[in-house]
Structure 1
Amino acid sequence: MKGKVLLVGAEDEENLAIRYLGAQLQENGHTVRIVPCSNRNEFSGVLKELRSFHPDMVAVSMAFQSLAPMFLELIHKIKETNPHVHVTVGGHFPTFEFEKILDYKTVDSVIRFEGEAPISSLIDVLVNNENLSSVPNLVYKSEKDVVKENHLITEFPDLNRLKFPLRNNKPHTRLGERFATLVTSRGCFHSRCIYCCIGAFHKQKTGLPYALRSPENVALEMGKLYHDQKVRLFQFHDDNFLLPTKEASYARLNTLKRSLIKEGIELEDIALLIKTRPDGVDEDILALLEEMGTVGVFLGVENASETGLKALVRSSSVEEINSSIELLENFDMGVTFNLLMFHPRATLKEINENIYCMNKNKNLAFDFGRAEIVAGSPLENLVKRKRLLEGKWPHWDYRIQDDAVEKLFRLNSLTFYRENSLYPELSHKLIALSYRSHLLQHFYPGKKSGNLKDETERLISKVNTFTLESLIQIYSFVGESEIKENLNRLSNEMDVFYGNYAERASKLGEKMGRFQVVEKKFQEKGVGDYFQNSTTLGRIFRI
């Protein structure tokens, strides 16, 4: 007997976690529906699907710790609507916090770690009225309210044998192009960063802490998306797109390139967004990535001081960071990075070195903040052990050991990251604009796309200059006691500036969108150069 499963998860883009589960369930003969829920405004859509579909099980992806309270609220409403449906949750957060989550009587079970085999086994057991004890990775409460932990799967699945994730009939659009996300692996070959839970998530595995899909398998999925859905922009979300050694990375990329060509993909007609560690690239690798259409690289800098890198257990160096950024400047790729300059052991010397890095690279889109507590991460264990933990579950907070750095962080929280601050949104817009400007140069090379790229770089540099000036002002407040008036003044200045430049960033994005629409039309007619070089057409289309 086969069942019906309703999969629920946040979907600002296609949620590969639940879509891999959906593909596996369908392969096993079950009926699946996917309904997105990224905020409380989408509760009604979930409940509507619940009433019309009448599922045997609702599976909620709770990957994002910050969204856990929202999903628990949603589950309460699901149970009010259908008290008899089995609700299971999964993801990184429930994997480590299953005991607290099972205290919510509306949650029937938790699937820990990877879910393809467990969710298929769980729905089989439910529809056939069998015992839950046979379902791997499952945690649940017995009739006597005792938590039961089933046996764990200790190996990665064969990633080449997994069905490709279920996709929407119409692909998402991002940066003005048809877009899809992919993963080429699971786990992480480094698996030691203090703020990350990936190592803990796969700790029970035997063998290597990561598993790879073959390049041929990746190319096959990309080919289907390219030919069937006309996807041109591919973003890779996994941590092993490049491998532990440069030799292995180069060989794997070469095989992927050949496989893409074999699948009938025109390399000049696709664009890639990837992420890598600073020690993962060299000139040959970057040249190959450029040939394959890479237009954006998220560089895993994370901290720009040697002591900060050591504290975060990054196993990379400032020299490697600097050399990788310098190397990337020779290639037409948008480079972005993040700095976790606040962490439990951060010092003012580290902060100075991170500010120096920002100033040195203010032509690049970046973000900065604190290493936050993620369930299961070594950071969580550290702040508990050092008695630095504050706040309430699941929104933990912690105190930085150095009082001056702690004060600096709190002042940043009252300015850059206070409620309704436009800085976080603007920094993400600038990252997107950086990638998009290089994408335009790749797909539509010419005078106008070059001008848009130049305009993007000027905007990024202007915003970063103001951000650094504001950060230095906040730094100067650390040694003062009477700062309220100055802090309010600076906050108001930041509101005005970031509001103004958020609007400019939005208008630049709109201009890029108009350019893409018009340029595609002219390219179809074989006269793309005419549009790119026409001042009159630029004025008509406001480009």
Structure 2
Amino acid sequence: MKVALIGAELEENLGLRYMVSSLERAGHQAVIFPFNEEGEIPSVVRQVMAFGPEIAGLSMVFTGRGREFCRMAKALREAGFTGHLTSGGHFAALNCRQLLADFPEFDSVALGEGEELICELAASLPDLSGVAGFCYRSKDGTIALNPSRGNPENLDALPFPKRDTFHDYFGKPIASILSSRGCWRSCAFCSIDAWYRSGGGAKFRVRSIGNIVAEMKELYHRHGVRVFNFQDDNFFLPDPPKALARFTELRDTLWKEGVTDIAIAVKARPDSINREVMTVLDDLRVFRVFLGVENASEEGLRNLNRKSSREEIESALRILNDFDIHVAYNLLMFEPDATMDHILINLRFMERHIDNPFNFCRAEAYAATGLEKKLRDDGIISGDYFGFDYRIKDPRVETFHKVANYAFFDRNFNDYGLHYFNMEVDFSFQLLRRFHPELLTQELRSEVRCFIKETNLDTYRCLSRIWDLVQALDPADQEAVRGAMRGMRQRVDDGGIGLRARGERILERLRRAWTEKQPEVPREETAESLESVIFGGGAVPYTGIESLARPDADPVGLGFFGSLRTPVPYAEFKRRMEAGG
């Protein structure tokens, strides 16, 4: 049977790639059709129709793209697709009945992880009455739901995801990989947690070290992969000693198999970080940790059900920064019960941690999450399942959010958002440092670090200005609020222009530092470089934070050379670097 799988593919879509492998093992033919933006609907439909599948599956993970996928379903039917049209992922599963009721184009919705479900669907058509884990349209047109048996316990039994091509950074192929599924916490805002709970069975499961190493060994030796992006919702275990033992075994087994020249990126909760475990991860050449800070206020953490403390957050950042790696974080500083005191605590937190790239936003409500239930109980939810909305209870915080959201929209959420670009600059530097420290100088490191700090400082200044404006504003004076929104938007956008250009020049320098050392790439004819002017042709190499104390290290100036490169779009970078929900 032919199966078309349609979903985002800006990076490796592991969910779809696992399903392809499972379908092929069951004797079916499966093809992934990338669908990254609404404008691609006509071309994707043409490709799918040319393939001629009996099943088309839509990967509907993100609430923000829900309507686009519904329009894709409609376009497929209008093009003459008569096969079984199913969907899956967080958004589809958590809103399955509404989706089938509102959009007759869909025949079914899968309620859990897709590998076994898509194979059972292919084996059971046209009758789904005995297939667990599906919400479907029955023969009489009514909507039926067969409860899930729970997500699979044995992750080692799954075939490795199907891989054809790889992205690369500085000539090093990168692969996404999972060492576990689910999370052992229940944050109020998390659709991932809601999805795993709805599927039944164990919410958090891990692969064996042997199984992880087998996949990494194949990627390393057969495909030349050197960068491993662990997409686990939380790379760590709830028990620190067990996490330490697990990572030690992973390190030792990889080294035994000759998998040594690598770099890894992970996501973590603050309460997972300690020096012992980071020492082992440093042996594995971790270069990036995305830290789930979420809120710096103790009360805000409780409101979001984070089960972590500000002391743990401060400790985690201190430890991670001591290892001189790329550490980025996000602040959900706006939530229904936020007060102006909470906002001030988060602003002071930014001030103390001005060295680390960050972003900020409001905690959004998704179906079946604790936050959605709270908003319903409080009677302040609006919108529908394609996007719930609410007003923050404190009028001044609501005004602060309104001004900040408008002013920082491009910087936070645009395709070329400065905050994610700030992360990208640091990410690129740290990755190059892991593989080619001899190409970097103290002066170039200083430019990267100063760019991060000055971007953060500009954001902090603007948010502090909004704080002062809101203190003086009457939240009921909408004309004054709109004036503040327009004025701050202009200030934020104007400040971002120069910062963006500066970051582009730094990225170009990083690129040149690598390309000009590649023997197969002809050296471009360029003007005398800043390094040769400053260091007389003998650049001082940067080998780590400890080298800052060397007497011959003399970071200087802010000189740039080279042309601008094409920036990585926000959507692509976000999907590479973060988990979505």
The TM-score, its normalising length taken from structure 2, stands at 0.86
SS of match in other structure, 1:133 = coil
Tell me if the contact between 2:153 and 2:202 (Cα under 8 Å) persists in the aligned partners: no
Alignment of 1:13-412 (within 5 A): 13-103=11-101, 104-126=103-125, 130-168=126-164, 170-174=165-169, 177-190=172-185, 192-203=186-197, 208-266=202-260, 269-412=261-404
Distance 2:330 2:240 in 1: 23
Higher mean C-alpha displacement, 442-451 vs 294-303 = 442-451
Counterpart among 473, 476, 490 of residue 480 in structure 1? 473
Give the stretch that moved more between structures: 206-215 or 227-236.
206-215
The 8 Å contact of residues 410 and 493 in structure 2, kept in 1 or not, is answered as no
CA distance in 1, matches of 2:441, 2:225: 21
Amino acid at match of 2:250: L
Query: Could you list the runs of 5+ residues in structure 2 that have no partner in the other structure?
Result: 475-479, 522-529, 540-558, 564-581
**Secondary structure of the corresponding residue to residue 355 of structure 2:** coil
Partners in 1 of 2:277 and 2:520 — Cα distance? 34
Structure 2 match to 1:494: 492
Query: What is the rounded CA distance, in whole Å, between the counterparts of 1:296 and 1:60 in structure 2?
Result: 31
Q: Which amino acid aligns with 1:425?
A: G
Query: Against the structure 1 CA distance between its residues 89 and 450, is the aligned structure 2 distance closer, same or farther, given a 3 Å change threshold?
Result: farther
- Of stretches 416-425 and 116-125 in structure 1, the one that deviates more from structure 2 is 416-425
Asked if structure 2 preserves the Cα contact closer than 8 Å seen for 1:426 and 1:505, the reply is no
Q: 1:511 to 1:42 in 2, by over 3 A?
A: farther
Q: Distance in 2 between matches of 1:133 and 1:77?
A: 27
- Secondary structure of the residue aligned to 2:149 is coil
1:374 Cα shift?
Answer: 1.8
What SS is found at the alignment partner of 1:117? Answer: helix
Contact 2:399/2:481 (8 A) holds in 1: no
Amino acid at match of 1:250: L
Q: Taking structure 1 as the reference length, what is the TM-score of the superposition? A: 0.92
Q: Percent identity?
A: 32
Map 1:388-467 → 2, pairs under 5 A? 388-417=380-409, 425-446=417-438, 448-467=440-459
AA aligned to 1:411 is: V
SS at match of 1:102: helix
How far 1:406 moved relative to its partner?
0.9
> Equivalent residue for 1:528?
none
Q: State whether residues 403 and 488 of structure 2, in contact with CA within 8 Å, keep that contact through their aligned partners in structure 1.
A: no
- Go from structure 1 to structure 2 and tell me whether the alpha carbon gap of 1:227 and 1:45 turns closer, same or farther (over 3 Å shift): farther
Matched residue SS, 1:217: helix
CA distance in 1, matches of 2:363, 2:561: 44
Residues 124 and 156 of structure 1: CA distance in aligned 2, closer, same or farther (over 3 Å)? closer
| Paired letter, 2:16 | I
Post-superposition shift, 1:281? 1.4
Secondary structure at the residue paired with 1:519?
coil
Partner of 2:572: none
Q: CA RMSD in A?
A: 2.5
Further displaced range: 450-459 or 400-409: 450-459
Report the Cα distance in structure 2 between the residues aligned to 1:184 and 1:456, rounded to whole angstroms: 31
SS of residue in 1 equivalent to 2:168: strand
The whole-number CA distance in structure 2 between the counterparts of 1:496 and 1:540 is 21
Per the alignment, residue 574 of structure 2 pairs with none
Deviations, residues 325-378 of structure 1 (Å, cap 9, x unaligned): 111221121111000010111111111111011011111100011111122211
Structure 2 CA distance for partners of 1:40 and 1:204, relative to 1, 3 Å? closer
Q: Secondary structure at the match of 1:414?
A: helix
- State the AA in 1 paired with 2:220: Y
For 1:70 and 1:423, the matched residues in 2 are separated by: 17
Distance 1:96 1:485 in 2: 39
- Contact 1:99–1:147, Cα closer than 8 Å, also in 2: yes
Q: Is the 8 A contact 1:195 1:372 kept in 2?
A: yes
CA distance in 2, matches of 1:96, 1:422: 27
Residue 225 of structure 1 contacts residue 231 of structure 1 at CA under 8 Å; is this kept in 2?
yes
Distance 2:440 2:454 in 1: 21
CA shift digits 1:102-154 (9 cap, x unpaired): 0201111111111211110111223xxx4211222111122332111113112
Q: CA deviation at 1:283?
A: 1.1
In 1, are the aligned partners of 2:410 and 2:417 still within 8 Å (CA)? no
Matching residue's letter, 2:473: E
The equivalent of 2:553 in structure 1 is none
Deviates more, 1:215-224 or 1:337-346: 215-224
Q: Distance in 2 between matches of 1:106 and 1:394?
A: 17
For the residues of structure 1 that align with 2:365 and 2:560, how far apart are their CA atoms?
A: 51
Is the alpha carbon distance of 1:102 and 1:175 closer, same or farther for their aligned partners in structure 2, counting shifts above 3 Å?
Answer: farther
Structure 1 residues 41-99: Cα deviation after superposition (integer angstroms, max 9, x where no partner): 32233122222210011001000110010011111111111231211000011111011
Paired positions, count: 527
Q: Which moved more, 1:194-203 or 1:253-262?
A: 194-203
1:426–1:502 Cα contact (<8 Å) kept = yes
Q: How far 1:189 sits from its partner (Å)?
A: 1.2
Contact 1:175–1:432, Cα closer than 8 Å, also in 2: no
**Shift, 1:239, TM fit:** 2.5
User: What letter is aligned with 1:259?
Assistant: T
SS in 2 for 1:329: helix
What letter corresponds to residue 148 of structure 1 in structure 2?
A: A
1:446 touches 1:532 (CA, 8 Å); kept in 2? no
Residue aligning to 1:527:
none
2:46 match: secondary structure:
helix
Partners in 1 of 2:247 and 2:398 — Cα distance? 43
Q: What is the DSSP-based 3-state SS (H/G/I as helix, E as strand, rest coil) of the residue aligned with 2:32? A: strand
Report the Cα offset of residue 419 of structure 1.
Answer: 9.9
- For 1:520 and 1:243, the matched residues in 2 are separated by 40
Alpha-carbon distance in structure 2 between the residues aligned to 1:179 and 1:508: 22
Distance 2:129 2:202 in 1: 28
- Deviation track 1:267-289 (CA, whole Å, cap 9, x = no partner) reads xx211111111111111111111
Residue 307 of structure 1: how far off its partner (Å): 0.4
Kept in 2: contact 1:309–1:315 (CA 8 A): yes
Distance 1:48 1:229 in 2: 31
| Mapped contact 2:20–2:162 kept (Cα < 8 A) | yes
SS in 2 for 1:51: helix
**Which moves more between the two structures, 12-21 or 257-266?**
257-266
Range 356-365 or range 389-398, more displaced: 389-398
The answer to whether the 8 A contact 1:4-1:30 is kept is yes
